[in-house]
Amino acid sequence: MSHSDTIPLHPSSQSDIDEIENLINADVHSVSVLPARPPSPPRVSIPISHSPSPLPPYQKVPPSASPPPVVPAVPAAAAAPAGSSRIGISSDAFGSPPDTLTEPVWDTVKRDLARIVSNLKLVVFPNPYREDPGRALRDWDLWGPFFFIVFLGLTLSWSASAKKSEVFAVAFAILAAGAIILTLNVLLLGGHIIFFQSLSLLGYCLFPLAIGALICMLEGNVIIKIVVVSITLAWSCWAAYPFMSAAVNPRRKALALYPVFLMYISVAFFIIAID
Amino acid sequence: MEEGYTSLPTSHLLGSVPAVIAEEKPSAGASQSLPANLQVFPPGNGGYIPPESPLGGEEQAANNWKGFCSLSSYTPYFNVDTDVVVDRIISSVYPMDEFSRKIDGSPDLYGPVWISATLVFMLAALGNYGTYLIQKRSEPNGDWEFDVSYVDWAACVVFGYAVAVPAAFYFLLQYFGLNANLVRLWCMWGYSLFVFIPASLFLVVPSEIFRWIIIILAGSASSWFVYLNLKVSTEGSDTRPLVVSALVLQFALALFIKIFFFS
């Protein structure tokens, strides 16, 4: 039952054991039929008029915090490997490829890290796709925001001289609850956004403030702290602006943006004041 | 480009907190045009009347309340534009009674929520800054610590006051047999807190006399605003003690702000 010389097009036509055998054989071949940059699986996101993004037949259930490899029913995610020990699987396969379960843990971690980095580049740094909200965070995830919120909380807690645990609690609560409330605010104002995509975006926009907090922890001078935090605050607001303003009716743009700025300004103030 | 997003085929995702997607479909069409449906907030007696329909639309009290967890139940209370909110804020600072006419048909909850949030941030931040200035004046080389408990206290006091006091007055007014609309009361009390935001900016100045003058002015303006609007709502029955107690409570809040955060 060796299929070493034929690579099937549809894994659903095989048994699981055959697929595992193919994996082992593919190792030998080290065939990589995939592009160097794994294609992002299309996910539930804002459909935009000029770039057709057909919803895949297998819609991904938005994961709250669990990493995608745990959900084996996402074939598209499995089509984006990081290592070379994979077979190319067509992204519209209805079978459940076991690759994300049998792959090495390091591959899973590398894939998630790659996605975090690519989302960061799309959201926070200048790039031609920033103005396009449907494209910008099509591949949203919640690991990045989680890391940034925890990192920011920890940095503030380390910088504080007293009541460290209360500082962490307040920072974490403001950021986490704030992201949820800001998203609800946009939805209540009649805006069109996807709940988790917005949470993801607001979390990624914390990246500049996290860097600012790290610099302020290492640096003691108040003037330098104020300058650094002001720059990173402006950067964060600039990163969040296109997404939020495009989501609502233009007459209510200020109503949707003001709470975002309020949250970032309060975090910035917190960073400066904690010493 | 922004207009294109209002007619996307994602209207079924409007307000899509995931568990209730199926329920949003009937309301999606209504939300895209200005809602002509009335929404009766369950405990209140007044109907929500959209601005362009005649005031006597109560017979259309088709209850669009979909439960406490459905986002579309709350959307009518956030149906305001930027200029409307700014207009209401300005008319809250000058204690004249145009305010009740402005919110007659469409009380909003956006103002109260975000004015309270801003006030919490201002009190915590500027209260700490005030202690910093005082300490730097008395002992220039001393250690100043950021007191995180200011954030907790500010949040509890401001949000607690903004939620509990109108609710209490609502129940008291119902007890006295007067019609009262809970959302209108929340709206009015929320906007009355706006005066404290610029006042807290002035309270940073580390001079006791100046601080007391500022807080007395702000407290009086805010209390007078509450008193006038509540009088309009109760239409001069024998609820004089109730209205006066509202005034006193507002002033007590002002004093608490001064004593706890800026002394």
| Span A150-204, pLDDT tens digits | 999 999 999 888 888 988 998 999 999 999 999 999 988 888 888 888 899 899 9
* CA angle in degrees (0–180, nearest 5) for B206-B92-B164: 85
- Among B103, B71, B61, B65, smallest CA distance to B84 is for B103
Is pLDDT at B44 greater than 80 in this prediction?
no
- Among A208, A162, A102, smallest CA distance to B148 is for A162
| Residue A19: pLDDT band with limits 50, 70, 90 | low
For residue B143, list chain A residues with Cβ-Cβ distance below 8 A: 161
Q: How far is B113 from chain A (nearest CA, A)?
A: 10
For residue A262, list chain B residues with Cβ-Cβ distance below 8 A: 114, 117-118, 121
Is pLDDT at B167 greater than 90 in this prediction?
yes
Say what percent of chain A tops pLDDT 90: 26
| Residue B52: pLDDT band with limits 50, 70, 90 | very low
For residue B83, list chain A residues with Cβ-Cβ distance below 8 A: 251
Is pLDDT at B196 greater than 60 in this prediction?
yes
Over the stretch B243-255, which tens digit does the pLDDT of each residue have?
888 889 999 999 9
- Model pTM score: 0.69
Average pLDDT over residues A98-108: 82
Q: How confident is the model at residue A141, as a pLDDT?
A: 86
Say what percent of chain B tops pLDDT 90: 26
Q: How confident is the model at residue A65, as a pLDDT?
A: 42
Interface size A-B, in CB pairs within 8 Å, comes to 100
Minimal Cα distance from B2: which residue of A? A246
Q: Does A240 touch chain B (CB under 8 A)?
A: no
DSSP H or E run through B152: helix B149-175
Most B CBs within 10 A among A142, A166, A188, A222, hence the mutation to make, goes to A188
Q: Does A62 touch chain B (CB under 8 A)?
A: yes
ipTM surpasses 0.90: no
| Pick from B48-62, B107-121, B170-184: least confident | B48-62
Minimal Cα distance from B114: which residue of A? A259
Give residue for tokens 């494209």.
A135
Average pLDDT over residues B42-48: 49
